[in-house]
Amino acid sequence: MSPFLEILKDEVQLAALVFMASVYALRVAWLFRFPPRRERTRPAGRAAAGAAYSLINIANPGGMESTRKRPWFYFQFVVFHIGVAAAISATFLIPYAPVILENAFLAWTFTVLMASAFLVGMVRLYRRLTTPVLRMVSTPDDFASLILMIVYFASGILALSPLADRSEWPLILFFSLTTFFLVYVPFSKIGHYLYYPFARIYLGRTLGHRGAWPPQGRSRRGGAR
């Protein structure tokens, strides 16, 4: 392995990771400056608090109308994000635990997961380009983030597949993109996962129960009707 690749997959990646963590720390500190909201809705047939229900709703496709009516979209979501997890894991396994990926079964598992996510990414890109409503609401960052993820999955396949070229260039491409993503993600749509818990707690406390407010027998100013 060349000295360039050794530095790229270790020191360069760690420096980019520290940069991303620093930006995220500043963002989280900024988010915590906003005062927390109290529950503003009454329970409507469920015991869990609105915020708790909102946070775990992502794991309950039947609780969302969009995925309940179109389970294929939820399947795409799961496959895509499993592929993301596989690609991120590979960026640590290759430099620090390469023996794990020397196992042919595990190498194929990572390759299949990223290949599946690559196909889902292509389907999503096609829908954004051909569906008028999606095309209208899509920003340049939406397209850029999705295209970059597709390219990233392709580079991961080339770097890990037992059938791929064993030269260094697939690894150089994969870790170059990894470094780019670590710097780019905090400023792009891909960083939405940082805001997810804050957004879900806010939505859950304001709209999560869908119960009437104020409670029956109380005026909007808190007095009896």
For the segment 140-186, what is each residue's pLDDT rounded down to a tens digit? 988 999 999 999 999 999 999 887 767 789 999 999 999 999 999 88
User: Nearest-5° angle of CA 146, CA 147, CA 150?
Assistant: 90
- Name the DSSP class of 33: T
Domain ranges across the chain: 3-207
Contacts of 111 (CB under 8 A, 6+ apart): 157, 160, 161, 162
Contact 9, 95 (CB under 8 A): yes
Tell me what pLDDT residue 57 has. 76
Q: Which CATH number fits domain 3-207: 3.40.50.10800, 1.20.950.20, 1.20.120.1200, 1.20.1050.10?
A: 1.20.950.20
Does residue 215 have a pLDDT over 50? Answer: no
pTM higher than 0.95: no
Structure tokens at 220: 């909007």
Contact 188, 144 (CB under 8 A): yes
What is the spatial distance between Cα 185 and Cα 203, in angstroms, rounded to a whole number? Answer: 24
